[in-house]
Structure 1
Amino acid sequence: MTTPPPTDLTPAALRNVPLYQTLVHDAADPVVVVAPDDTIVDASDDVERIVGRDAAALRGAALATLLPDADPDSGYEVLRERHADPDASLPWGDASLTVRGDRGTTSLLVDVRDVPSEGTRYLAAVCRVADPLSVAARERHRLREERDRIERVDALVRDLARAVVDADERRDIERVACERIADHDPHAFAWFGRPRLASAMVEPSAWAGSGPGSPEEYLDVVEVTTDDTATGCGPAGRALDTTDVTAVADVRDAPQFGPWREAAREHGFRAVAAVPVALDGTTYGVICLYATQPGAFDGITDALGDVGRIVAKAIRSSEQRKLLHADTLLELELRVTDGSPLVAATERCDCTLTLEGFVPGDGERSALYVDVDGCAPERALDALDDVTSRARVVRETADGGLVELSLAEDGVVSTLAAAGARVDDATAANGEARFVVQTAPDADVRGLVDHVRRLHPRADLVSKREVERDPEAFADVREDVRDDLTDRQRTALRAAYHAGYLEWPRESSGEEIAETMDVSPPTFYQHFRAGERKLFDAFFD
């Protein structure tokens, strides 16, 4: 590009941006730079050969005047839409654009790049004249590459599912996951990060891979957080915040990758994907994947989500197994005073609410069975109306009764259960709720408390102690039955037990329990009878 004439509209600050110099001054193809107000602020001299107008005539014009199908002042938006992701650029052939010049219309291939400067997001469009046959060939090539990437992820998911089954400890699951990911092309490096609510830091707990420098060297110089600072707005921070896979096609020009760009360049990393390890509202961490080729994760973010779910399920199963088999348990007492709907209801109704049972389900379908003491059950339900997706009275007594609740949002009980802990007792009264929680002796106590504090920031850990597991006369039988029951059979039996279906007279009908489980009545009866048969077989065979 020649020296701009005096009428050039390019801001001085933009001319000093290294990325602008690289894209515009050194580009082998015609380039047009557009401001958010649709003004062409710069264009290379060779742009005349594709639009029939020289660069001086284009500077200051609206880009929309070159686009036959665009509305006035919408050219910038057209380019932005050609940009597949705010953090990535499109490779050649992924986008074509028809422009109108003095010689008629021309079909162009455009490679749109972000060029940020002093808070303004300029777009630079590098253009090539498109041959229809070559465009179709490039599209076929792009689809083949995307299919190959999806097949590689599917193979990784199968390999990962087999590998984590044999890992008993959470740290082993995290290590194996990173090793298997790094073993599969095109991944050069992977690390697992655990979020810490108190410090807002994401702490690396496992890693594997190779590169010009060791993984430890890369992790030593990068800092990732979950707050609103620059280090919290990158791929890992966004993945933890949204629980969606977040990918960056090329770290060299992704604005939000700024804090880690130099370290990634030194290690040869070009593309990054952050995969949340989350399940049913509980986030265990994030896996960050790195590749040496740009665009390595294009089109496969949905498939990568399966990687996170496989690891999350393995971590949950590991924690539940440890809780089941431990001879001693860690007992925690938590106190919540802020924002709990159950606490607010006890203050409004001057009553005490005590958890009698919990039936986990899918999201908001989890059910709490709560004993009401000190007021009519209907009055307690009225006080909870704004926070429940479904509620009913199971039975009434002289002093209160039993109610069934499905909270519209995740609560403390479902959050702790999803994290692998067991709520042994929960009572709300006099402006506070107290939860007695049992978990494995080597459980991540800080992580459990962090889960609760995401819901209630001022939650307190009142006490922590080790307790001996109560002797169980039928421990072996119970363990065998628990392993034999399917998840649906276990849920049907638990719901029937807590809802009074086994009482005489019955306190809940099969239809009501089916509605709680969000299944049809015949489906409930099928799961209940099958589970009931397995219980009888275990005790009488």
Structure 2
Amino acid sequence: MSSSGSSEGIYVETLAVFDQSDDPCEPLTTPEVADALDVGRRTVYKRLEKLVGRGDLETKKAGANARVWWRASEGPSECGRASEREPERSEAGPTVDAVLERITDGFYGLDDQFRFTYLNTRAADLLDLDAPAVLGRDIHTELDLTDEFETAIHEAHGTQEPVSLEDYYDPLDAWFENSIYPSETGLSVYFRDVSTRKRRQQELEEYRTIVETVGDGIVAVDGDGHFSMVNDAYAELLGYSPAELIGTHASRVASSDHFLEGEELKAGLNAVGDVAQHEIVLETKDGGTIPVEVRFGLFPSDEDDDRGVVAVVRDITERKRFEEELAALNRLNQVFQDVTGAVIESSSREEVERTITTHLTNSDSYEYAWIGHLDRYGKTIVPHITGPDEARLSNVVLSTETDDPTSHGPVAEAVRTGEVQVTYDSPADPVFDKWRQSREIHHRVGISIPITCEERVYGVLNVYTARENAFDESERRIIGRLGEIAGHAISSINRKRALLEDRVTEVTFRSAGIADAYLDVIGHDSFTISIERSVGLTDGQTLTYYSIAGIAPEVFIDVTEDFYPDSECHVIPGTGSKSRVEVKTSQRAGASQLAKYDSRIVGGTFENGEFRFTVGVPSTTDVREVIDLVEDVYPRTEVVSQTEVVREKPRLNDVFSDLDEQLTERQRTALEVAYYSGYFDWPRAITGEELAERLDVTQGTVSHHIRHGERKLVSAFFDSTG
């Protein structure tokens, strides 16, 4: 029942409570009137007193401190006569007791010494007291009052104003709602057990705390699809305040398709406890989007139709990003395996590079790939394998001392540093200046990977993707290996071509630095040193075989070890006037450095105080690079001559024309070292164990390589001669 909105109206509605009773003269207690009006007891008490003052109601004490109220009669009647005199207990007592026993609240009266004067049955039950036994006893001796309740009864008694409070009574493990009404002779206390309501409130508070502190969004949507509750986490996720969303339709933040999808899933839920789940995309207040996972269930309801749902909404942006990255890595691993297999079967550098760029561009992870080569002067990167847009890429200048914008981009930096470079704004790379003039660029992130082998840079692989979070550490590590694979494949192809080429450039050098190193130690020039053969090993080291006359091999070794401190020298046993010495040098030595350029020392002599040696350079290598390397590695060395020569083919060329292709690189190396070290001599100059030590492999491995190599040599001869 609600107020009429005026002061007179509240009195009218209060009197109506009595008028609607079967017997208007029947007394009502304050709690009964308060419950009928759904108004606080203190407020009702004041209204009732006002109505008594106006003559509309009559009242009297019930028991020691309680009070009842009834409608006053306008004329002489039994109600009126009852109000003109104080009824005797024999007349009024039973009526009052009946009223107090009828109310559902507990009620007891206290005198001004806080002694029980009356307890109704409900009060005795709630407080677990024996009503007749406690009458006349102090409430403090019968109940363990809380501090709050103690304060309240003293306040009501002292101020003569009603006091209300909710109080937890530990002995009974119960919450009570107490209304304390004072009079000159004591107190009337109405109370009810509100434990169920309080526990429910506590549960609601706990749920509210959970809802507001949990990291996920939580929402309640009514049967019509409108938000009835959203927690802060959900609102903040979308950039709203809770108030902005409550009452609005859920389609405000979800597309119609996603909303209908949710409705279809909801239709499949049969009972409370059933849960549906789906992934959708929500729209934020600023127009952005967020992928979320939604788990929802039905609200309890007696109605089968239009039931609302409660949903937990989790931001899965990071999970989606991780899934995308994982999928990209899986695709990249597959591309990597495909590329590796295809590269092994490639027979030319162009085929190697075309294979890599084609596989990358055709994958779902990447938009575009191209490869650039160094020009013959090593100053510019020229786009080479670029797919259908070959004319749309700019050359890249390597020098930093220029205003050319390409020299400061990731492509040039990758070649200069030998390290992988990533750019997160690939369209802005100056290499795409020509491209931008005619078409749109769809990629966003790029990576530049130097193509290298044994510190030699062959070019740069550039790969681009539209994925904004591409090329993290894992992806960078995998795709970065493509530069190494391409470099080793190109180097292997070049070395094989160098071995098979008929025409090579032979550059002869004169080294005063090397000559003086020997002359200073030996003291005369009446000796000769010849280079028989230089063999590159697979680990980058080199074995060189020398023929010496005029000095003891030990003297030669002393000088050589001074010149190459980390070298290993061995005298090869033999007969005759000349000694033979094998020298193993590290990757830093000149012979090993030459191997990186597919070149090697093909001969050399020290005679008449002058040391000359010749380097064979294949057509695939820039001769200028080799000259620069030799002059840098060997002190005081200069070029004497540069000649293009045609290699003389052996007499059995027709027999062994395909032998180089049949022998593996390790088999050829093992046979070559074994031959020049005297392993095939009789008696053998070195043992199998010593040969294995030279090659830095096990004896079983070297025996395996030599045995298979010998078989191929013999097979080539007998198969061709029948």
Query: Normalising by the residue count of structure 1, what TM-score does the alignment of the two structures yield?
Result: 0.60
The question of whether the paired residues in 1 share the 8 Å contact of 2:442 and 2:466 is answered with yes
C-alpha change, 1:346 and 1:301, in structure 2 (3 Å) is farther
Residue aligning to 1:160: 339
CA distance, structure 1, for counterparts of residue 471 and residue 663 of structure 2? 39
Residue 546 of structure 2 contacts residue 580 of structure 2 at CA under 8 Å; is this kept in 1? yes
The 1:391/1:208 distance shift into structure 2, 3 A limit, reads same
Partner of 1:362: 538
SS in 1 for 2:398: coil
Matched ranges for 1:123-134 at <5 A:
none
Deviation at 1:168, TM superposition (A): 4.9
Letter in 1 for 2:679: Y
Assess, with a 3 A threshold, how the Cα gap between structure 1 residues 139 and 483 changes in structure 2: closer, same or farther: same
Alignment equivalent of 1:204, drawn from 376, 382, 385? 382
Provide the C-alpha distance between the structure 1 equivalents of 2:341 and 2:400, rounded to a whole number of angstroms.
Answer: 31
Any conservation in 2 of the 1:376–1:399 contact (CA below 8 Å)? no
Q: Structure 1 residue 496: deviation in Å? A: 0.8
Equivalent position of 2:518 in the other structure: 346
- In the alignment, residue 157 of structure 1 is paired with which amino acid? F
How do 1:87-486 residues align onto structure 2 when only pairs under 5 Å count? 144-161=323-340, 163-164=342-343, 168-171=347-350, 173-195=352-374, 198=377, 200-209=378-387, 216-220=391-395, 222-225=396-399, 235-237=410-412, 239-240=414-415, 243-244=418-419, 246-251=420-425, 270-298=444-472, 299-326=474-501, 328-335=502-509, 337=511, 345-350=517-522, 352-385=528-561, 386-395=564-573, 401-421=579-599, 423-427=601-605, 430=609, 433-437=612-616, 439-440=618-619, 444-449=622-627, 452=630, 455=633, 462-486=640-664
What is the one-letter code of the residue matched to 1:434? F
Per-residue CA deviations over 1:251-306 (Å, capped at 9, x if unaligned) read 489xxx99879899995654332222222344322223333444422222332243
1:529 to 707, 710, 721: 707
Does 1:503 pair with 2:681?
A: yes
Residue 505 to residue 305, structure 1, CA distance change in 2 (3 Å): farther
SS in 1 for 2:648: coil
- How far the C-alpha of 1:511 sits from its partner, in A, is 1.3
After superposition, give the CA deviation of every residue in 1:163-216 in whole Å (9 maximum; x if it has no partner): 556765545544554444433344444333334585x51321503257xxx554
C-alpha distance in 2 between matches for 1:233 and 1:396: 60
Q: Which moved more, 1:486-495 or 1:355-364?
A: 355-364
Letter paired with 1:416: L
Q: Is the 8 A contact 2:335 2:360 kept in 1?
A: yes
1:519 to 694, 697, 716: 697
5+ residue gaps, structure 1? 1-48, 50-132
Shift in CA distance, 397/492, structure 1 to aligned 2, threshold 3 Å: same
CA contact (8 A) 1:332 1:465 kept: yes
Amino acid at match of 2:327: D
**Aligned-residue CA RMSD in angstroms?**
4.2
Structure 2 length-normalised TM: 0.47
Within 2, Cα distance between the matches of 1:157 and 1:459?
A: 44
Kindly provide the amino acid, as one letter, of the partner of residue 359 in structure 1: V
Distance 1:188 1:458 in 2: 51
Shift of 1:456: 5.9
What displacement does 1:492 show?
A: 1.7
Q: Counterpart of 1:387 in 2: which secondary structure? A: coil
Q: Aligned in 2, Cα 1:439/1:196: closer, same or farther, shift over 3 Å?
A: same
* Whole-angstrom CA distance in 2 between matches of 1:227 and 1:412: 31
CA distance in 2, matches of 1:482, 1:465: 25
- How many angstroms apart in 1 are the aligned matches of 2:624 and 2:485? 23
Q: Which residue matches 2:718? A: 540
Whole-Å Cα distance in 1 between the matches of residues 517 and 657 of structure 2?
38
Q: What is the 5 A alignment of 1:7-26?
A: none
1:75-124, CA deviations, whole angstroms, 9 ceiling, x for partnerless residues?
xxxxxxxxxxxxxxxxxxxxxxxxxxxxxxxxxxxxxxxxxxxxxxxxxx
Please give the alpha-carbon distance, in whole angstroms, between the structure 2 residues aligned to 1:428 and 1:205: 45
Name which structure has the greater RCO, CA cutoff 8 Å, separation 6+. Answer: 1
Aligned to 1:27: none
**1:363 aligns to what SS in structure 2?**
coil
Cα-to-partner distance string for 1:12-64 (whole Å, 9 max, x where unaligned): xxxxxxxxxxxxxxxxxxxxxxxxxxxxxxxxxxxxx9xxxxxxxxxxxxxxx
Alpha-carbon distance, 1:332 to partner? 2.1
Aligned partners of 2:528 and 2:548 also within 8 Å? yes
- Structure 2, unmatched stretches of 5+, are 1-235, 237-312
Alignment partner of 2:505: what SS?
strand
Counterpart-to-counterpart distance in 2, 1:369 and 1:381:
12
Contact 2:530–2:605 (Cα < 8 Å) also in 1: yes
